[in-house]
Structures are given as C-alpha cells and as structure tokens.
Structure 1
Amino acid sequence: MTGGVVRKSLLLAALALSTPALGATPPEGVPFEPRRGFFTETDLGVFFTVGGENSYSNAQSYVQLGIGYDLTERLSLGAHFALGSSAQNCFAGYLPDSNVCALSDNFTVAFGDLTAAYHVRLANRFYLTPKVAAGYTRLEPRPVDPEDGDPGQSINAFNAGLGIGIEYATSFDHFSVGADLLGRYIIGPNIMTFAVFPRVKYTF
C-alpha cells in the first residue's frame, strides 16, 4: 500500500517537472541571425600606390575608422576616415640627368569617404562583401603639380573606388570580423591606391 502511494507521488512529480521543460524553446531550433543596425569599425592594415616612376610604392601602415548603418540584411552604408602613405614612388617625374624626383616621392594620403556594401551569404555567419567608395582626398606634401596651378604644399581631390571583402559574425554578440581589399583612384593627380586590411566591426 505504502509502495503504491510512493510510486504515484514520484510519477506526479516527474510529470510536473517535465511540463515547463516541454514548454521551453529548444536552442537548436532558433536560427542564427547576425545583429544588424548602427555599427562602428576599426581597421588596421597596409597601403601602397601604383604607377609613377617606381611602378609601386613600399607598403606602409594604414588605419581606418568608420561608422555606418545596416539598412537591410544585405545593404550597409557607412562613412570612413582613413590615413595611409606612399613611400618611394615618384609621380612628378625625375629631374633631368638624375634620380631625384621633381616633387616629393613620399607623401601622406588622407581619405574621407562614403561607402556602400552588399552582403552575399556564403555560409552560416560568413558573407562576401563587395563595396563601392567615393569621397575626398588630401595629399601632403603634393606629389604632382595641381591642375589649377596652386603652389600650395598639399592637393585636395576627389576619389572613387571598388573593394571586395569577407565578413564573419562571431559567436560573441555584437562583434564581426573580416578583411578587405580596397582600390581607390584619386581624380586629378591620377594616382591609384590600394589598401589591404582586417576589420573589427561592433554592431549596437
């Protein structure tokens, strides 16, 4: 008699405990969705120019800071400020009978650009990110004579470019990592630049 009561009590307790467990959503059933919205990013890499008398410059450090917003799951808009430098690449031509550049063959390049990126899903958490960029550039000291004849020590010009990258949404909420190759053409001085950099993105 006592044994039957004990068995019934255990059965009722087991049923009571199992009810909330059955009501919970199994974590395996929730598909992963990367966080989208307002984001910031920090990028550190290498920068170089091509063309000029030396064909290409020595690789130099590159830093880029950006903010942006994911308009949709696939489309993002951003604004970026970046600094790089060209080392040992002469764009003004050599002086007669010498290997001395007519103007500076070492100069800093500052970019202020608007960007648009498209996210193409390749796998879970992993995306291909083609992008376009356009904005304003400052070169100092001037590597070529400006078209308007201004004798100043710097040149301001527009730039436009294309890039390709990858992005991975990590298991740490808010954080994505990636890498980009971005080529930009500086209109006027006619200088082609490239930047290669890993990216760390934080989405709020």
Structure 2
Amino acid sequence: MKALASIALVTVLAVPTLARAQNASAAKNSEGDRPAETFNEIERGLYFAVQGGPYFVVNPPSDDPNPRPFSPGQSAQVEVGFDLGERLSIGFFVLGATNRAGSEYVGKSEGAASGDFSTLVPGATLRAHLVGFADSQEVKRTFIYARAGAGLALFSPKLLLPDSDILVFAGPGVEYYTRLRHFSVGIEVTGSYLVSSGSFGFAVSPNLRYAF
C-alpha cells in the first residue's frame, strides 16, 4: 500500500511539471514560427516606362517666309525614373519622333532639302498625381496626374534642320495600377513647344510602366 501511495504521489507531482514543459515548448515553437509574408498592393520606387502614339507639329521649324505646314507623325519614348512616395516621380527619357511633310516644306535649308523630318530628344520629366480613386478594396489604383518635362531636340536630316532646339511639354494623364503590383497602364495628352523656333505640337500617348 505504501508503494502504491508513493507512486500516486509522484504522479500527482509530475503532471503539472509535464504540463508546464509542454506549454513552454509550444510557446517556443510559436515564437519560432516563420512570420507571414506580406506584399505591397502597389509597388513604387525605381521604374521603367514606355509610351508612344500620334505626335503632331502644327508649325514645324522653318525660316520666314517659308511655309510651315501642319505635320502629322508618330513618337515613341522610353523613361527610367524613381517614385518619391505616392504623389511624385522624377525621370529621364529619350523621345524619338518622325513627322510627315510635303515637298513645300524646306525647313531651314533655303531650298536645298525638303520633306519629312525626325526628332530625337533626351531630357528629364516630373510627374505629380493630383487625385486618386480607391477600388472596392480601398486601394487607390486610379490616378489623374500632370506631367511636365524638357529636353534637347536634335533634328534629322541636318541639311533640312541644322539647328538643335529646346523642347518643353506638359499635360494631363490617367494611370491605373493593375493587380499585378509591378505594372501600371495609362494614357496622357501633352502639348509641346520648341523654344527657339516657336513651333507648337501635341501628342496622345498610351503608356506602360513597370516598378521594381
């Protein structure tokens, strides 16, 4: 009987100790669990963007009194930049454009050349998100923005337009951040101005952006 009583006493004393050991082990395992991985709904930071579309020059560069006919064309642009938070971004771009012009357009060649011309513009740009609209999950994915920039315009052929110029542009756009996190798509309308020649232009440009 004494042996049984001793066994029972040892069992009673051991149970709480084992329980505490199990609880400590469980707590340790819980603390060591790998935390759940979370993702940003929208990635911002370093980005790469492409855009392009119709580009029109109302009065191409030319010496007076030579004709300056309306010139339709196409443009394409690549841009690398960085988002400064949700609202602002800065970037550097290279823009290429080709424009149609008839034989009456002699530019600044004094009649030695005529017709179509192309433009290459490296430069910098600033974009500001003005208004954001949230989706059903309260994530702001759609933004109305304003974008402005400037660059050095280099023309070809040189015989037609030998002088470079300063191109400035600005305009509004709409951008939608997709559920793929890194990608956004948009469209913008910009007005442009060549400072030295006084030439006006405008463009309609769909765009695609990838943020790293």
Query: TM-score with structure 1 length normalisation?
Result: 0.69
C-alpha change, 1:120 and 1:176, in structure 2 (3 Å) is: same
- The residue number in structure 1 matching 2:81 is 68
C-alpha separation in 1, matches of 2:159 and 2:84: 39
Tell whether the 8 Å contact from 1:107 to 1:142 is kept in structure 2 after alignment: no
Work out the number of aligned pairs and report it.
160
Tell whether the 8 Å contact from 1:174 to 1:202 is kept in structure 2 after alignment: yes
User: What CA deviation, in whole Å up to 9, does each residue of 1:123-143 have, x standing for no partner?
Assistant: 121101111111111011258
User: What CA deviation, in whole Å up to 9, does each residue of 1:133-186 have, x standing for no partner?
Assistant: 1111101125866xxxxxxxx321212121211100011120000011122211
Matched, 1:132 2:148: yes
Tell whether the 8 Å contact from 1:91 to 1:143 is kept in structure 2 after alignment: no
Q: 2:193 aligns with which of 164, 185, 189?
A: 185
- The residue number in structure 2 matching 1:113 is 123
User: What CA deviation, in whole Å up to 9, does each residue of 1:11-31 have, x standing for no partner?
Assistant: xxxxxxxxxxxxxxxxxxx9x
Tell whether the 8 Å contact from 1:92 to 1:102 is kept in structure 2 after alignment: no
Tell whether the 8 Å contact from 2:50 to 2:77 is kept in structure 1 after alignment: yes
Alignment of 1:1-204 (within 5 A): 33-51=41-59, 53=67, 55-58=69-72, 60-88=73-101, 90=105, 92=107, 103-124=113-134, 125-142=141-158, 154-204=162-212
How far has the Cα of 1:91 moved from its partner? 6.7
How far has the Cα of 1:192 moved from its partner? 1.8
Q: Which SS does the other structure have where 1:129 is aligned?
A: strand
Query: TM-score with structure 2 length normalisation?
Result: 0.67
Tell whether the 8 Å contact from 2:41 to 2:181 is kept in structure 1 after alignment: no
Alignment gaps of 5+ in structure 2: 1-37, 61-66, 135-140
Tell whether the 8 Å contact from 2:45 to 2:211 is kept in structure 1 after alignment: yes
C-alpha separation in 1, matches of 2:197 and 2:188: 25
Q: Which SS does the other structure have where 2:164 is aligned?
A: strand
Q: Runs of 4+ in structure 1 displaced over 4 angstroms?
A: 142-145
Tell whether the 8 Å contact from 1:105 to 1:143 is kept in structure 2 after alignment: no
How far has the Cα of 1:194 moved from its partner? 2.0
Root-mean-square deviation (Å): 2.6
